[in-house]
Structure 1
Amino acid sequence: MSHDFPAEPPHELTADLPPDLTTPERLPFFKRLLARVMGRGLSRMQAQHVPSWRQGHADGFLNGHAEGMDEGYAEGRLDGIEEGRRVLVIRDTRPGEHRGPRVDDHLFDDWRLPLTNELKKRIKADVALKLPSHAQPTAAQWKMIFSDTPSTYVIAGAGAGKSTSLVLRVLLLNHYLGFELDSMTVVTFTRESRKDFINKLIEIMGLWGHDLSLRQAREVVRTFHSRILPLVRSLPGFEQLQAFENLSSQQGNPSGGDLFGNKLLDDGADSNPFDLRINDAQRQQMNLCYRDLYAANPRFREVMAPLYRHSLQLKELDRDHPDVQKRITVMGLSSKRDEELCDVIEDLWIRAGAWPIQGVEPMRQTVEVSGLTFHVHGYAAELDAWIVLGFDPSEDQHLRRPDAKLPVWAEWVIKRTLFQAFCRKPVIWLENYEASRGMMQSLSGAAVAGPGFDYKVKGELSAAPLLDCFVAAAGFIENLGLDVPDAVSQMSFSDQDPDRFFFEALSLFWKAFEDHLLEQTPPVMTYNRMFSLFGEHSPENLKLVSDEGLRPLSHLMIDEFQDVSPQIVSWIRASLREIRGRGPALHVGRGAQRSSLLCVGDDWQSIYGWRGSSPKFFMEFPKEFPSPGTTKVMLSDNFRSHQHIIDAAEHIVRAAPAISGKKARASGPVQELLPVSVFDRDDDQLVARLIEHYNAGDSVLLLYRKGSERSKLPEALQAVMNADYALPPGERRLKQLTYHSSKGLQADAVFLLGDCQHLTQSPYKNQVYQMAGLGKEGDLEAFDNAQKDEVLRLAYVAITRAVRHCYWFIDAAGNDDAAVPKASSRIATDKAFFEDRRGAVRIDESVV
């Protein structure tokens, strides 16, 4: 314990004088009298003064007492200090509340690349010597190449020249820092971009004396799909695993795989993550699973019935529709002759061998339609719907009933219109004989060709075969990092919404389908399931991967990062955590140490939200990928387009949320500033301008919003395209693509066909978007609102493909629908970088 002593001695002490000094002892009277007389005499003689004596005596006592206290205090204090040096002093400085250690949630160790100023100067000198002047990095690009922090994100707008910078980053790690190539992976999104990057890597590494083979370069440059597949194959029992997306039909190749006679692609390198088409080999597996599940699972059969009925059920028609108003006048006559019409059509179906249908009870029944009597041909108990047979197009179009004025097909069309407008019973209208065969297979449980009908999920643009709808919906849900059955269990739909049956059927089918694929020899798995098995929800699986299998993920460089999905992000984070968790032991004896992540992207070019990707992970990069040090690089130079092209595209996209501070500047050769010209859709003008540019030697891109536009292009344009395609590949100058497919391309002149619009609302995607934590909290239409921003970004991508000229042709019919979000609403007529010629009177240029 500690003791406190006073700094000064206590001077203000009160002395208690002894009684003999204050009150003299009493003497006998005579002695007292003598003493008093003598005292007075002495006082008169000034030989003695009693008060002075008393005062002096008292002062002397007090002073002596005080001096004694001083001396005692001084000596005691010194002794106390000396003694106190041998006493432990404890001061409690702990916080009042208990706190444990902080959690280090970083994905990386706190380290830096060993880049000295001398090394940077040497690299810059080498690059200046070996690369041409137009390929020299800018200051911002050098910042990207020389980033020494564990994580780096690079905002690279259109035409920013990021590819060369990425290659130089690989060169820096390998050639100058000694990082082995098998410790790094460069990820591109498509096979085209992968091919281009591989060629550039081989070329530049060769300039530094590295003879990189095509195989070595392909090992470094990957798609996400081609990197996850060998990771799964490294585990016992999965050495021959095949990806479902890579199954393809064998085409006379005896060295193909052995799964049902299918050729098996090796590593998924050529798979396109945004290709939703189902080929025959994939469909075969889906049909087999559907057949088995339909036969074995009563609940699956129950939920399939209302889906089938909904797909085949006659669609309602508004009573004010012109066709209804025209045909209602003959409604009474049609009712009177309906039984005769049914006899004729039923005879045709029996003669064609299409009637009766297994699972449908043939029973001519009357139904009331707006107070009049009409007939149906049968009843499907499993579907709880009435069946009406149609007039097959293969039959004689001139066939008439006796004494009838109209042919049979026309009478049948009138009946169908009246049923659409006035019949509210569940009616399935079989249009042709083929429809009966599909129904027969489905109702009999012998649907080896799948369910045999199309379905349209709310929010999708068109109907598709049911199993294709399953694949699309499951893919979207899984891309968001969700499990299909679990997500479905959290959805809700109205009692009358057939989508509730669709998603229950999807939940049952998808679980059975994944099990079905794993039971094949060799086993098969979807890519989404592979990523899920090695994501943050299953970190224990990554511990099964060997050091050699995990090491290529140590130093990741990812291009087009704005298009990653939550599923991919989860896999990346889980892999980086596992790498850090293994510590230095993973890198013993190697030049490459620890781990790093460099991502290049542009949130303005995020256009795959409809597949489940989101720019959120790039826009919030430091939060999504916690690191002890993060470098942000902004590449603002555009080496492709002139400033008017840049400004027009940016003006449209600025209405969408974005990383702050973005503004591109034209940095290529000086060009004439030409505005983006906007026209009403006019195919004659389109063809004339396109041919003019093509004949002038320009490269041309013809971009359309929807793939269906391809078949509608004018014949004159098709002729030019065919002639160009006949040229050797290196001489072709004309490409036609969708807006989405054009990313990464450029041309002297770009022709855009169609507006960028968000036309639908998707209840199920809004729900799973919320489950995935995307969108603003409490936003019940998170996906739809995200799509409203995405149509602006899609227009930005399309416009920035242009080097010099951009022409935008927009259908005039859609201009007046203000309720539909569209990119063209951002066209600014008062800006020099737009020339809006919509509604202008056309002038015959041949006359001028």
Structure 2
Amino acid sequence: MPSPTPEPPAELSSLAQLPLFKRLLARLLGGGLSRLRAQHVASWLQGQADGFRSGHGAGVEYGYNEGRLDGLEEGRQVLLIRDTRPQEHRAPGVDDNLFDDWRLPLTAELKKRIKADVARLLPAQAQPSAAQWKMIFSDTPSTAVIAGAGAGKSTSLVLRILLLTHYLGFELDAMTVVTFTRESRKDFMAKLVEVMGLWGHVLSPREAREVVRTFHSRILPMVRSLPGFGQLQAFENLSERGLFADEGADSNPFDLRINDAQRQQLNACYHRLHSDNPRFREVLVPLYKQALQLRELDQDHPDVRKRMAVTELASKRDEELCDTLEDLWFRAGAWPIPGIEPDREVIEINGSPFHCHGYIPELEAWVVLGFDPRENPQISRPGAKLTVRAEWAVKRTLFQAFCRKPLIWLESYESAKCVLSSLAGDATAGPGFDYKVKGELASAPLLDCFVMAAGFIENLGLDVSAAVARMSFAQDDPDRFFFEALSLFWKALEAHLLAQSPPIMTYNRMFSLFGENTPENQALLSDELLRPLSHLMIDEFQDVSPQIVSWLRASLREIRRRGPAMQVGRAARHSSLLCVGDDWQSIYGWRGSSPKYFMEFSKQFPSPGTTRVMLSDNYRSHQHIIDAAEHIVRAAPAIAGKKAKASGEPKALWPVNVLDRDDAGLAKRLEEHYRRGESILMLFRKSSDKSLINEYISSVVNVDSSLPAEQRRLRQLTYHSAKGLQADVVFLLGDCLHLTRSPYKNQVYRMAGLGDDGDAEAYDNAQKDEILRLAYVGITRAVKHCYWYLDGPEAQAGNGPKASDRIAGDKAYFADLRVKP
């Protein structure tokens, strides 16, 4: 550092520092000289002092800077220490990827060789497009393939397996292709065996079955590997023939039908719980009451308005009608009923008296006997103009519209027996009554309702009891008691099933045992059980549920955790995930599936590298079919950038014909196409529509059903079950409607993190989008022609949203032939 500036020499010091005599003399001389204007010594001396200081300071500063630079340069030649540490402390980041950072070893030469082999061994129509090659050659740990309807994804998946096995040497037991149903699995296995054979690999049916699986057939061996569960059976696989191991593991996961073997277990559990748990018995009472009560009718209903005119007349003959009905019930041995007090209580309907037949104290409800459908419908009272059945129908309508007392209407002798069993506490055959949860389209046996509600909750990755504890309902809402009963029953059922010999478990519980909430169970699995999940290829990924996603993520995380030791001595190392799907074909939200996991693929399956492939070519339909279907569905949220184009041989363009419901006209058109030798799909929304239309197309049905299976050209299916199929001509019968509001599903949807933040009706809003996707699926089954028959407004149930609202009559790809009002 520079030294302080020194004082000037003594001779240049200020006058104030001189002795007194000299100061006086200097002042005299200085004053004289100053008057003579010759000089001013003080100023001269002061200037000399200032000049000295200034020059000294500048010299020192210059010298200091020069010396400092020389010193720094000399120091650099020895050591430079620079502090590059961050000013704030930061901890290491978290690697949350499900995969190692690796790539498939695909060189340009290898790709060229594979393309040449495919061109030589596969027919021209099976040659992959540029986008399909991108899917086949994806070298990143994760790959999302957006494959629209008719995109030819199956062949691409088979070639992907061929790449991994034949060209890269990956072992087959390190990979799994997942399909959703037994039918799709069978088709894919046949294609895999055929293509592998062209490359000289003779794949046995057993080897193909090991590779091509359903989720269910992969989880079952995992649970069986745990101590004490070696003979475990899946509840969904039970059959009337007894327990069987794997045959049902490939069944349709969306099939909700309950068979007799399953019902036997449900009933046995119900009987024990009903006997042992007083609270369970208590919460069933309001369910009995709600289920057995007469359904209300709006007073503006046409039947009500018509029968109101005869209210007074019906009242006058009501006691005689009661006598007649009680006689019929007595002769059938169905009356009186223990637990029901005979009581002709008078109920006033529009000022006119009518009568009940009895009272149930336990339910605090009145009972009216109905006309059993097995009785002769022509029975009449003496002198009456109407039959007993008709008189009873009038009374029933009036009670539905104007009676607000708790009322149970026993429709038949059989329903009375069920009530009798329930009231007597005889639950060996189950509850014996149907129930309708708010939001469901129809009532069902109570235990069936339990299974459906529990399945929906568990598919969302939630525990039934925990989810029920977070629900809330109005004080007088019977669903409040339904879900409390469900919570009690489901816990008892799981214990009951595990207590069987061999033990039984639902698939949902199996998946939850190995989900993200229980990683310790994953650690119990052997390498041999986990290795097939190393390289996963999943079809129809848009239909995956949160429950399955949790299991997949947990499995992939465990595979990565085990590291290279799991794959010692093997060509297939690390892990990968390739998912193929189409969010526009996600139509199983009512079972708990969601397209969210495909639409947010990179977020849901974090990876150091993800390849995104868009398969836009449609090899099935012509452009009018594609454009009409996309116009319908485009109002729903979707992956950005989707637009399919017709590929392959040029096809004639036919618009989607939209017509008023006309079963006779439909039958005529169908017969014409069948005579031309074309394949036909008849798709309906309601099973009742199939029965109605069969009356008109019975001749074609009879001819077609007499042919060998491979020659049949007519199939009749629901919209949902037609996914994956195609036909020259498609007939759509009925609209895609959102008819109900489901309070409980809205609640659990939010619990599962589905839907937008703050959306109180997340499930219902998702269903409004799903009806558009369902129409898209129906239309895109068509190769050439699509006819859409819609009911008129008077036949529509409610005023909710419907897919047909999106029909655009001004577009060339629609021909709206409906009669305008």
TM over 0.5: yes
1:684 is aligned to 664
Instruction: Tell me if 1:163 matches 2:143.
Output: no
1:710 is aligned to 690
- How far apart, CA to CA, are the structure 1 residues paired with 2:269 and 2:284? 14
Judge which range, 82-91 or 370-379, deviates more.
Answer: 82-91
- The question of whether the paired residues in 2 share the 8 Å contact of 1:307 and 1:498 is answered with yes
Judge which range, 370-379 or 136-145, deviates more.
Answer: 370-379
- How far apart, CA to CA, are the structure 1 residues paired with 2:417 and 2:798? 45
- How far apart, CA to CA, are the structure 2 residues paired with 1:566 and 1:572? 10
- The question of whether the paired residues in 1 share the 8 Å contact of 2:233 and 2:243 is answered with no
Instruction: Tell me if 1:579 matches 2:559.
Output: yes
- How far apart, CA to CA, are the structure 1 residues paired with 2:295 and 2:61? 114
- The question of whether the paired residues in 2 share the 8 Å contact of 1:491 and 1:767 is answered with yes
- Residues 392, 267 of structure 1: alpha-carbon distance in 2 compared, 3 angstrom cutoff: closer
- Residues 385, 208 of structure 1: alpha-carbon distance in 2 compared, 3 angstrom cutoff: same
- How far apart, CA to CA, are the structure 1 residues paired with 2:55 and 2:388? 144
- How far apart, CA to CA, are the structure 2 residues paired with 1:769 and 1:330? 49
2:292 is aligned to 312
Deviations 1:481-521 (A, max 9, x none): 11111111222222232222221211111111111111111
* Structural mapping, 1:326-725, within 5 Å: 326-332=306-312, 334-397=314-377, 399-401=379-381, 406-725=386-705
- The question of whether the paired residues in 1 share the 8 Å contact of 2:237 and 2:249 is answered with no
- How far apart, CA to CA, are the structure 1 residues paired with 2:390 and 2:566? 77
Instruction: Tell me if 1:151 matches 2:142.
Output: yes
Deviations 1:564-618 (A, max 9, x none): 1111111111111111111111111111111111000111111111111111111
1:129 is aligned to 120
Letter in 2 for 1:195: K
- Residues 21, 280 of structure 1: alpha-carbon distance in 2 compared, 3 angstrom cutoff: closer
- Residues 413, 579 of structure 1: alpha-carbon distance in 2 compared, 3 angstrom cutoff: same
Instruction: Tell me if 1:775 matches 2:755.
Output: yes
How far apart are 1:90 and its partner, in Å? 6.1
- How far apart, CA to CA, are the structure 2 residues paired with 1:677 and 1:394? 44
How far apart are 1:344 and its partner, in Å? 3.7
Q: What SS class does the counterpart of residue 177 from structure 2 fall into?
A: strand
How far apart are 1:286 and its partner, in Å? 0.7
Judge which range, 374-383 or 784-793, deviates more.
Answer: 374-383
- The question of whether the paired residues in 2 share the 8 Å contact of 1:674 and 1:804 is answered with yes
How far apart are 1:812 and its partner, in Å? 2.5
- Residues 221, 384 of structure 1: alpha-carbon distance in 2 compared, 3 angstrom cutoff: same
Instruction: Tell me if 1:188 matches 2:168.
Output: no
- The question of whether the paired residues in 1 share the 8 Å contact of 2:739 and 2:797 is answered with no
Letter in 1 for 2:233: Q
How far apart are 1:838 and its partner, in Å? 1.3
- Residues 675, 370 of structure 1: alpha-carbon distance in 2 compared, 3 angstrom cutoff: closer
2:105 is aligned to 114
How far apart are 1:87 and its partner, in Å? 10
Q: What SS class does the counterpart of residue 765 from structure 1 fall into?
A: helix
Deviations 1:201-225 (A, max 9, x none): 1111111121111111111101111
- How far apart, CA to CA, are the structure 1 residues paired with 2:402 and 2:49? 131
Letter in 1 for 2:679: S
1:239 is aligned to 230
- How far apart, CA to CA, are the structure 2 residues paired with 1:62 and 1:270? 101
How far apart are 1:340 and its partner, in Å? 4.2
How far apart are 1:412 and its partner, in Å? 3.3
Q: 2:239 aligns with which of 248, 263, 270?
A: 248
Q: 2:211 aligns with which of 206, 217, 220?
A: 220
Q: What SS class does the counterpart of residue 524 from structure 2 fall into?
A: coil
1:103 is aligned to 94
Letter in 1 for 2:191: K
Judge which range, 96-105 or 281-290, deviates more.
Answer: 96-105
2:716 is aligned to 736
- Residues 567, 747 of structure 1: alpha-carbon distance in 2 compared, 3 angstrom cutoff: same
- How far apart, CA to CA, are the structure 2 residues paired with 1:377 and 1:758? 40
Letter in 2 for 1:226: S
How far apart are 1:840 and its partner, in Å? 8.0
How far apart are 1:818 and its partner, in Å? 9.4
How far apart are 1:17 and its partner, in Å? 4.5
1:37 is aligned to none
**Percentage identity across paired residues of the two chains:** 72
1:179 is aligned to 170
Deviations 1:468-493 (A, max 9, x none): 11111111111111111111122222
Taking structure 1 as the reference length, the TM-score comes to 0.88
1:288 is aligned to 268
- The question of whether the paired residues in 2 share the 8 Å contact of 1:154 and 1:633 is answered with yes
- How far apart, CA to CA, are the structure 2 residues paired with 1:270 and 1:657? 31
Q: What SS class does the counterpart of residue 363 from structure 2 fall into?
A: coil
Deviations 1:440-481 (A, max 9, x none): 111112122211111111211111111111111111111111
How far apart are 1:762 and its partner, in Å? 1.4
Instruction: Tell me if 1:16 matches 2:29.
Output: no
Q: What SS class does the counterpart of residue 528 from structure 2 fall into?
A: helix
- The question of whether the paired residues in 1 share the 8 Å contact of 2:664 and 2:696 is answered with no
Deviations 1:356-408 (A, max 9, x none): 32322334444444444443332212212112222333445555556655554
- Residues 409, 128 of structure 1: alpha-carbon distance in 2 compared, 3 angstrom cutoff: closer
Letter in 2 for 1:109: D
1:253 is aligned to none
How many pairs are equivalent?
803
Letter in 1 for 2:178: V
2:200 is aligned to 209
Letter in 2 for 1:672: A
- How far apart, CA to CA, are the structure 2 residues paired with 1:607 and 1:240? 35
Q: What SS class does the counterpart of residue 310 from structure 1 fall into?
A: helix
- How far apart, CA to CA, are the structure 1 residues paired with 2:113 and 2:470? 59
Gaps of 5+ in 2: 20-44
- Residues 351, 629 of structure 1: alpha-carbon distance in 2 compared, 3 angstrom cutoff: same
- How far apart, CA to CA, are the structure 2 residues paired with 1:70 and 1:428? 110
Letter in 1 for 2:116: A
- How far apart, CA to CA, are the structure 1 residues paired with 2:655 and 2:178? 36
How far apart are 1:829 and its partner, in Å? 1.5
- How far apart, CA to CA, are the structure 2 residues paired with 1:218 and 1:511? 35
- Residues 721, 167 of structure 1: alpha-carbon distance in 2 compared, 3 angstrom cutoff: same
- How far apart, CA to CA, are the structure 2 residues paired with 1:234 and 1:127? 41
2:32 is aligned to none
- How far apart, CA to CA, are the structure 2 residues paired with 1:219 and 1:770? 37
- How far apart, CA to CA, are the structure 2 residues paired with 1:819 and 1:391? 34
Q: What SS class does the counterpart of residue 510 from structure 1 fall into?
A: helix
Judge which range, 653-662 or 729-738, deviates more.
Answer: 729-738
How far apart are 1:421 and its partner, in Å? 3.0
How far apart are 1:160 and its partner, in Å? 0.7
- Residues 513, 88 of structure 1: alpha-carbon distance in 2 compared, 3 angstrom cutoff: same
Gaps of 5+ in 1: 27-53, 251-261, 842-848
- How far apart, CA to CA, are the structure 1 residues paired with 2:747 and 2:630? 31
- Residues 380, 165 of structure 1: alpha-carbon distance in 2 compared, 3 angstrom cutoff: same
Q: 2:132 aligns with which of 138, 141, 163?
A: 141
2:31 is aligned to none
- Residues 518, 21 of structure 1: alpha-carbon distance in 2 compared, 3 angstrom cutoff: closer
Q: What SS class does the counterpart of residue 110 from structure 1 fall into?
A: coil
Letter in 2 for 1:584: P
- Residues 62, 326 of structure 1: alpha-carbon distance in 2 compared, 3 angstrom cutoff: closer
